[in-house]
A and B are shown apart, each in its own frame.
Chain A
């Protein structure tokens, strides 16, 4: 994995997109990985019984996708300090989920180089379904 340095980053920089598309199998994998076995994520009849159009992708899985987006970008010497999102829209299995991020701020504090980003998941209609923010510390070339 390549390393991104503080000097490489400027406000407005868009980080490499991470594209996801959840099969129902991935939702079951996430159930096992997270321990969340709520049936709206794997039992279509149950999901529809609660008024949903069908199965939906777990919010926490989208949150973890955003974690992967930032992890893969910041490289082995990057430090993830903070990341989070809120859930503003549902995503469905077999639909693209684009995980994206843009640098909003960079600054140095107590000798550490911090970068803040807006991060989000985006559905095929272009709606930001899980907008959030992240803060990472990056190494310097010097």
Chain B
């Protein structure tokens, strides 16, 4: 596929399952990546809960999507940024997350946002 490659960042601030935002964001990530765009994901506030290991969604009869984060590598989506402050406020560390991420400060995340062509907030 030819054409301009743009820098997309999905900014994820919602917990999974309680609302549809997390799943919608993931779908948009996969679509943008299928069109070979330069995609990165930022997780802050309750968005960091999306990556918490060990989702077992059978009890609430909803399709779980933790495993899909593992496919991002196949889509060449390897830039996952997580806000340190948000993890700390939720008693989490990078070891609690289901995929490798880069943990950074909110200010550093903000700088990365400035570098994007398109920001999508979920």
* Bound pair (A, B): no
